[in-house]
Amino acid sequence: MTPSRSEPTNRRESRQTDQSSGCLSGFLIPPLIALCFGLFLALGTSGLKTPDVQPEVHAASGTIVVNGSLAPLFTPEIQFWSANITRWASEHGLDPNLAATVMQIESCGNPSARSSAGASGLFQVMPFHFYATENAYDPDTNALRGMNYLAKSLERSGGDARLALAGYNGGIGVIGRAESAWAAETQRYAYWGGGIYADAAQNANESARLNEWLNAGGASLCRKARERLGISQ
């Protein structure tokens, strides 16, 4: 039976994946100079602590993120992961609010969440995105694979967050198709996620779309997350 648009979703259909790699290149420094320079850096920075996230403008979305903080509208279960979400998003050049939107809809912060389609963890990542030796439920590993796919989806969408969310759910290939051809689940996903993220990007204190999602069934997902995280109401 096909769920109605008002029903939230925490699973996604099978989608294609790809791998990419990169490298850094630099210049060579004569060994003696390199040694002295390294000692200078070690002594000069030993007492300094670098912030995990600096204020920046993400090129893909044009969104200004100050200190990578999350909008206050997200539920307590998502705020529980705030520092982690900030770090994970920063590592992939993403707005933490976009990453938080995905986690909100996918698992509401439950690291043990598993869908009937086999998606697992905080970001409900499908099994084929992991290496055989990886633990799909480990938060860092789950975030690595989920954020990698979200970043690719955002790039393919030309920085359109709503389309990127659709690609995250239905596979990046849906981005180039007419929305009427999307699966019903993907249409709902873009509806929920697009509205929540639009409010979060404005640093809103609350979101009518998020409340709508919660009232349509998302609250039960968050209740399970609270129990798993030991958060009291």
pLDDT tens figures, 51-109: 333 334 333 333 333 345 899 999 999 999 999 999 999 999 999 999 999 999 999 99
Strands (E), the chain: 56-57, 64-65
> Token pair of 120, please?
């697992």
Tell me the angle at which helices 96-106 and 139-156 cross, rounded to the nearest 10 degrees.
110
**What predicted TM-score, i.e. pTM, was given to this entire model?**
0.74
Distance CA 65, CA 8 (A): 28
Residues annotated as part of the active site:
106
> Residues in the chain with pLDDT < 70?
1-68
* Residue 203 domain flag: yes
Q: List the domain range (segments joined by +) for residue 96.
A: 53-229
* Residue 218 domain flag: yes
CATH of the domain at 222: 1.10.530.10
Distance CA 122, CA 114 (A): 9
pLDDT at 112: 98
* Residue 14 domain flag: no
Q: Domain count for the chain, please give it.
A: 1
Distance CA 108, CA 76 (A): 9
pLDDT at 78: 98
* Residue 4 domain flag: no
* Residue 111 domain flag: yes
* Residue 22 domain flag: no
Reported for 88-93, long-range contacts at CB under 8 A and 24+ positions apart, including other chains, are 88/140, 88/143, 88/144, 88/147, 89/147, 90/52, 90/53, 91/147, 92/147, 92/148, 92/150, 92/151, 93/58, 93/59, 93/60, 93/151
pLDDT at 68: 54
Distance CA 99, CA 211 (A): 18
* Residue 158 domain flag: yes
* Residue 38 domain flag: no
